[in-house]
Structure formats: C-alpha cells, structure tokens
C-alpha cells in the first residue's frame, strides 16, 4: 500500500515538473517569436519609409526639372520674339 502511494506521488511530481518545463519552454518560444515579429515589423516599416522617401525625392527632382524646362521654354520664346 505504501509503495503504491510513493509511486503515485513520484508520478504526480514528475508530471508537475514536465508541465512546468513545458510551460517554461512555451513562454520562451512565445517571447522569442514576439521579439522576432516586432523586429520584422520595424524592418519592414524602415524599408517602406525608405522607399517612400526615395519616391518623394524623385518626384521632387522631376518637379524641379519640369520647372527648369518651363523657364527655359519661356526664355527661348522671349528670345525668339525679339
């Protein structure tokens, strides 16, 4: 009778330790996953921001070029009229 109780206690204790380790591993995995996920989000946001900055700077350059060409056209027209 006593041996059976001892065996049950050991089994119960071992099961509790297994559950504890399982929960610990799951929480570590969750933390690692969360850290990777947030760093990936930061990276994608940086890449998006860089792309939009490049696009905006290119649009600004194109706009400046258009203004310059318009000014040159006006100047040429004025010279042709003289």
Give 82 or 64, the one with higher predicted confidence: 64
Structure tokens at 61: 């350059």
pLDDT tens digit sequence for 6-52: 888 888 888 888 888 888 878 877 778 888 888 888 888 999 999 99
Residue 65's pLDDT band (cuts 50, 70, 90): very high
pTM score over 0.85: no
Measured CA to CA in angstroms, residue 45 lies from 38, 40, 41, 50, 53 at distances of 11, 9, 6, 9, 12
């Amino acid at each position: 009778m006593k041996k059976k109780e001892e065996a049950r206690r050991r089994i119960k204790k071992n099961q509790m330790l297994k559950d504890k380790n399982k929960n610990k591993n799951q929480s570590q995995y969750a933390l690692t996953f969360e850290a990777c996920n947030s760093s990936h989000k930061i990276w994608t946001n940086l890449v998006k921001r860089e792309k939009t900055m490049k696009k905006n700077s290119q649009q600004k350059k194109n706009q400046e070029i258009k203004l310059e060409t318009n000014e040159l056209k006006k100047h040429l027209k004025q010279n042709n009229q003289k």
